[in-house]
């Protein structure tokens, strides 16, 4: 069971932060939840997951994006999990900002030292099961989105789990097998043979082999994003997904990698998800 840590009223809805002991990760975890005004009197509302990027916690999106205003209007619940296990006492877990704490990369580690880094299974199995205990959430009617490392996670999870009605991402790491952030994470968490093992966590590699339903995907990346050329490669995913997914890859002039960009375009993403969550 999840323990309610705090509650704040916002745009007629509620921002709640929960804590629970994770069986997948072997530590205490937090997640943040916004429920709109529509989630009252026994009404269930659709769920949109937001996966955050490197160094973030469950609260960055909740505090910085301004997403609650539009979510309240559209009747969407927003779920923001943390980005990694915390406080496991693993040697080196806090030495690097792009590996270890705050950098779980939404995969299931196979290197023994990092075996508790199972963010893929946490997001796809444990967290939805936990949310089912909250009567206001329609967990079976869900979409997923994320930013940077979380955009990578949203694409990978959306492609590998036939659970989500739509996928969106801000500045996603689209081809992690060929960029420094992804290579560091895959080698560290997956160990020897990571080049092959990493393909199951690489959205571009996954979509090349994809033969599932034609999912709608919205991506926004700033042309002034410092990581665009070295780490993100949204054009690679768009090309690989041609004819397989409905991808709208928008390059936004002068926008960067920050939450200023997310706050600017978050309403578009929530409207995009609401369209697909309410049409079924």
- DSSP per residue, 92-141: TTTSBTTBBTTB-TTSB--SGGGTT-BHHHIIIIIHHHHHTTSTTEEEEE
Q: Label the pairing between strands 28-35 and 77-81.
A: antiparallel
pLDDT of residue 40: 85
Query: What's the pLDDT at 212?
Result: 93
Task: Check pLDDT > 70 for residue 280.
Answer: no
DSSP 8-state symbol, 45: E
Sheet arrangement for strand 216-222: 3-10, 13-21, 28-35, 77-81, 45-51, 137-147, 164-170, 216-222, 246-252
Output the pLDDT for position 1: 84
- Cα separation, 131 vs 153, in Å, equals 19
104, pLDDT greater than 60:
yes
Give 238's contacts (C-beta < 8 A, 6+ positions apart): 219, 247, 249
* Residue 278 pLDDT grade (very low, low, confident, very high; cuts 50, 70, 90): confident
Mean pLDDT of the chain: 97
Give the per-residue pLDDT at 177: 98
Percent of the chain with pLDDT over 90: 97
Confidence at residue 42, expressed as pLDDT on a 0 to 100 scale: 81
Query: What is the 8-class DSSP label of residue 227?
Result: T
Tokens representing 175 are: 């081809």
Question: What digits encode the pLDDT tens for the residues 180-235?
Answer: 999 999 999 999 999 999 999 999 999 999 999 999 999 999 999 999 999 999 99
pLDDT in tens, 235-275: 999 999 999 999 999 999 999 999 999 999 999 999 999 99
How far is residue 207's CA from residue 246's CA, in Å, rounded to a whole number?
12
Enzyme catalytic residues: 148, 225, 257
Q: Which of 174, 5, 143 is nearest to 79 (CA)?
A: 143
In the 8-state DSSP scheme, what is residue 2?
P
Q: Is 222 helix (H, G, I), strand (E, B) or coil?
A: strand
For residues 94-112, average pLDDT: 98
H/E element holding 46? strand 45-51
What percent of the chain stands above pLDDT 70?
A: 99
């Amino acid at each position: 069971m999840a323990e309610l840590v705090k509650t704040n009223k916002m745009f007629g809805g509620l921002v709640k932060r929960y804590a629970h002991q994770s069986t997948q990760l072997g530590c205490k975890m937090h997640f943040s939840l916004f429920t709109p005004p529509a989630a009252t009197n026994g009404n269930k509302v659709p769920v949109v997951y937001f996966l955050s990027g490197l160094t973030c916690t469950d609260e960055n999106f909740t505090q910085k994006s301004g997403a609650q205003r539009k979510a309240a209007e559209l009747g969407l619940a927003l779920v923001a999990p943390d980005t990694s296990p915390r406080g496991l006492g693993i040697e080196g877990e806090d030495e690097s900002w792009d590996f270890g704490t705050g950098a779980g990369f939404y995969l299931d580690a196979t290197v023994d030292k990092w075996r508790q880094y199972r963010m893929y299974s946490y997001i796809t199995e444990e967290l939805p099961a936990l949310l089912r205990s909250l009567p206001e959430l329609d967990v079976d009617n869900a979409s997923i989105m994320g930013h940077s490392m979380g955009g990578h996670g949203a694409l990978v999870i959306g492609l590998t789990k036939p659970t989500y009605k739509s996928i969106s991402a801000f500045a996603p790491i689209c081809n992690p097998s060929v960029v420094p952030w992804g290579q560091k994470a895959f080698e560290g968490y997956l160990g020897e043979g990571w080049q092959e093992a990493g393909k199951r966590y690489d959205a571009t590699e996954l979509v090349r082999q994809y033969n599932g339903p034609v999912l709608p995907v919205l991506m926004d990346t700033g042309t002034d994003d410092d990581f665009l050329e070295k780490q993100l490669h949204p054009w690679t995913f768009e090309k690989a997904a041609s004819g397989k997914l409905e991808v709208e890859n928008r390059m936004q002039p002068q926008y960067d990698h920050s939450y200023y960009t997310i706050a600017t375009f978050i309403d578009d993403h929530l409207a995009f998800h609401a369209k697909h969550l309410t049409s079924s």
